[in-house]
Amino acid sequence: MAKRTRIIEGTWNCTSCDARGILARHKRCPTCNNPRELTGQESEFDFGDVDAESGKSLREGVTDEKVLEIAAAGEDWFCAYCGAATRGDSPRCKHCGAERTPDAKKATPQDLARDEARLPPEVPPKPPAKKKRWMTGVVVAVFLGIIAFAVWANSTRELQGEVTGTQWERAVVQERFSLVAKTGWEDQLRRVSARMPVNGTGEVAGVANVRDCVSRQRGTRRVADGTERVCRTKSRRVACGTEEKCRRRDKGNGFAEEVCEDVTKYCNESYEDCQNETRYRNEPVYAQQCTYDTYEWKPLDRREEKGHDDAPRWPTLAVGAQDRQRREEKYAVHIRYQAKGAQEHVHQPTNERDFLTWRKGQGVVLTVTNLGKVEKVVPR
């Protein structure tokens, strides 16, 4: 692509008389006639602002032939004797006439790319996460509070109590191996002969007399049901014409060379992304469901006994050949103790041996947490 070159003339400020905005073509101040020097910021040129988008200088380019010749003379040098700025192609100081010596200082070109980079940042900086830090403090405080509470709540102390009464409940349940009709899926029913129990054990439930099979829905399965076109709106970068971009280079003598060119510009474009996707539907699955005969234990009779004494007894029940008996027992020991007023705790022994260690009027040591939960009871 075609490049367009311009020469931009900078300006300087005289530190001897305070004259401002002196064009770079003047190596002496037009007001006080003092030469421009390397020191005192007289050699820091102002090249004006640039367009934020393109980086193009807002100043007019130089067209005057004589001035263009000054710009093309190369980097200035500064006289070792008087410090005056002199054209790069001149072998003698225009101010004092001294020859250029190896110790004459050279101009230091300015970095103008820095000015061109004055584009707005693409992502605005995130605001500092002050709120998050505040939240973290609260979370830590709550967490420490929970730990402290858990330690306090699980701390225990020992209290004295007394047994105020005991109670036992016993039951005998008589069950009979009885014929029942059930339903099942035909492919899962394997015919097995039933066997009756002897003294309550050794029975086989059996599967017999499979009948009345009907077709029933057993479940569902997912099946492909054609395809459908699904479209989503997406975004992509595309070339959309050209835009001008410019760079400047300091020539070291108060002039800058600007090169502009047209580069491809990219824009966001939305488009439809369409694909064929498989559609599914649920299809019912059918199977044969049948009625069959089998046996199961069914409760036939139940006898209960209870008392407040310390001699638990089993109720008696007559047993048939195809019967079995199941025993149930439940014990309770009522304990009274003092903790923020009179409290009652019910201890539930799981067997007769544990139950018989408790007597009415007996002393008890209770282990109680700060929350009031009884963890352990032992006879005193």
Binding segment (CB under 5 A) for Zn ion, from list 27-35, 186-194, 261-269, 304-312:
27-35
What residues numbered 51-90 form the site for Zn ion, per CB under 5 A?
79, 81-82, 84
Should residue 104 be labelled a site residue for Zn ion when binding is judged by CB under 5 A? no
Should residue 19 be labelled a site residue for Zn ion when binding is judged by CB under 5 A? yes
Tokens 């459908």 identify what position?
228
Burial class (CB in 10 A: 0-12, 13-18, 19+), 100: middle
Helix (H) or strand (E) holding 373: none
List the structure tokens of 231. Answer: 């479209």
Which of 14, 62, 163, 290 is the binder for Zn ion (CB under 5 A)? 14
Which of 11, 25, 31, 159 is the binder for Zn ion (CB under 5 A)? 31
Q: Tell me how far the alpha carbon of residue 249 is from its chain's centroid.
A: 48
Should residue 22 be labelled a site residue for Zn ion when binding is judged by CB under 5 A? no
Which of 50, 85, 93, 364 is the binder for Zn ion (CB under 5 A)? 93
Should residue 24 be labelled a site residue for Zn ion when binding is judged by CB under 5 A? no
Burial class (CB in 10 A: 0-12, 13-18, 19+), 12: buried
Should residue 23 be labelled a site residue for Zn ion when binding is judged by CB under 5 A? no
Binding segment (CB under 5 A) for Zn ion, from list 28-36, 116-124, 144-152, 156-164:
28-36
List the structure tokens of 12. Answer: 């300087």
Tell the smallest beta-carbon distance from residue 104 to Zn ion (Å).
Answer: 9
Should residue 16 be labelled a site residue for Zn ion when binding is judged by CB under 5 A? yes
Identify whether the C-beta of residue 377 lies closer than 8 Å to the C-beta of residue 366: yes
Where does 194-249 have alpha helices with state H? Answer: none
Number of residues that bind Zn ion (CB under 5 A): 15
Give the residue with the Cβ less far from Zn ion, 7 or 14.
14
Give the residue with the Cβ less far from Zn ion, 75 or 305.
75
How many Å apart are CA 204 and CA 321, to the nearest integer? 15
Strand (E) positions, the chain?
Answer: 3-9, 11-12, 22-23, 77-78, 85-86, 105-106, 156-185, 208-250, 255-307, 323-338, 342-347, 363-369, 374-379
Tokens 């410090």 identify what position?
83
Give the residue with the Cβ less far from Zn ion, 18 or 243.
18
Tell the smallest beta-carbon distance from residue 112 to Zn ion (Å).
Answer: 26
Should residue 11 be labelled a site residue for Zn ion when binding is judged by CB under 5 A? no
Which of 5, 20, 32, 182 is the binder for Zn ion (CB under 5 A)? 32
Give the residue with the Cβ less far from Zn ion, 43 or 166.
43
Give the residue with the Cβ less far from Zn ion, 254 or 349.
254
Identify whether the C-beta of residue 50 lies closer than 8 Å to the C-beta of residue 247: no
Binding segment (CB under 5 A) for Zn ion, from list 19-27, 254-262, 336-344, 371-379:
19-27
Should residue 17 be labelled a site residue for Zn ion when binding is judged by CB under 5 A? yes
Tell the smallest beta-carbon distance from residue 101 to Zn ion (Å).
Answer: 10
Rg of the chain in Å (alpha carbons):
52
Give the residue with the Cβ less far from Zn ion, 97 or 379.
97
Tokens 């009179």 identify what position?
342
Amino acid at 322: Q
Should residue 38 be labelled a site residue for Zn ion when binding is judged by CB under 5 A? no
Q: Kindly report the length of the chain.
A: 380
How many Å apart are CA 263 and CA 247, to the nearest integer? 13
Which chain residues interact with Zn ion by CB under 5 A? 14, 16-17, 19, 29, 31-32, 79, 81-82, 84, 93, 95-96, 98
